[in-house]
Amino acid sequence: MNKTETLDILQKIKTGDISPKDALSKLCIQPFEDLGYAKLDHHRELRKGVPEVIYGSGKTLEQITGIAKAMVDKGQSLIMITRLPAKIAKKMKKNFPLQYYKYYETAQIGVIGKIPKPNGIGKIVVATGGTSDIPVAEEAAITAELLGNKVVRLYDVGVAGMHRLLSKLGEIMDAQVVISIAGMEGALTSVIGGLVDCPVIGVPTSVGYGASFKGVAALLSMLNSCASGVSVVNIDNGFGAGYLASIINHKRGVK
């Protein structure tokens, strides 16, 4: 149940078209839907402003399809499926012939429904240290776009060639929030954090040689950043970064 549906119930109480008792029943009934293999939180949009997102990794085609169809039946207008394997994504389209469906292969994100127009305060800049970080960056960027944000991509602007980053300084300084994505030693996040006056979200990636410990080195580097205003999400968690950036970009009075 979304906010519009809830408001409609409250208006009906006001006009006398529905009793408070019946309204309570409508609000309380099935706060989650038990599919056996999944319990869908249909009230999440009401609580958080964003409906539940499907995490595709480890789920079968039947499970993902069943969850998505239950969401469609409840009126969810946009369904996001993260970490969706390409082989399953190709089979999804035929299961939703009446809905718009798109698969972003690099980001491994499937989308059912109409993509919203940007309605955030400003721009979210997604910057990567290298080209190998792009899959995580695209997960962050697509997530932010699906949540109604304008996204600017600055890829391969790492500290090994600082002039690449500095050539884009105007775009970085103009951001409402920056998502900085880097593996190896993760230095890009500290550098950006020392240049901008907006929040910076660091995303360590598992890119790097042996001593990078599959992203742990970058994670610790970002957590120990001496630049103020830097927060850090988990290794390779592009979705979490895009989601957090969207919250920041929709809070009035931030910048």
Chain segment 148-194, per-residue pLDDT in tens: 999 999 999 989 898 999 899 999 999 999 999 999 999 999 999 99
Q: Tell me: pLDDT of 98 over 70.
A: no
Q: Which residue has the higher pLDDT, 12 or 117?
A: 117
* Residue range 5-41, pLDDT digits in tens: 777 777 888 888 888 877 766 666 557 766 777 877 7
**Rg of the chain (C-alpha set):** 20
Residues of the chain with CATH 3.30.110: 28-113
pLDDT confidence tier of residue 50, bands split at 50, 70 and 90: confident
For residues 138-150, average pLDDT: 96
- Count of CB atoms situated within 10 Å of the CB of 147: 24
Q: What is the pLDDT of residue 25?
A: 66
Residues of the chain with CATH 3.40.50.1970: 123-249
| Residue 96 burial class via C-beta count within 10 angstroms: exposed 0-12, middle 13-18, buried 19 and up | middle
For residues 62-89, average pLDDT: 90
3-state secondary structure of 201: strand
3-state secondary structure of 179: strand
| Beta bridge partner(s), residue 110 | 81, 103
For residues 91-101, average pLDDT: 78
Q: Could you tell me the pTM of the whole model?
A: 0.85
Q: What is the pLDDT of residue 138?
A: 98
Q: Tell me: pLDDT of 202 over 70.
A: yes
pLDDT confidence tier of residue 42, bands split at 50, 70 and 90: confident
Is the domain 123-249 a CATH 3.40.50.1970 member?
Answer: yes
* Residue range 220-233, pLDDT digits in tens: 999 999 999 999 99
Strands of the 54-55 sheet, one edge to the other: 54-55, 78-82, 109-113, 101-104
Is the domain 28-113 a CATH 2.60.120 member?
Answer: no
Residue 151, φ and ψ in degrees, nearest 5 = -120, 135
pLDDT confidence tier of residue 2, bands split at 50, 70 and 90: low
What's the chain's average pLDDT?
A: 88
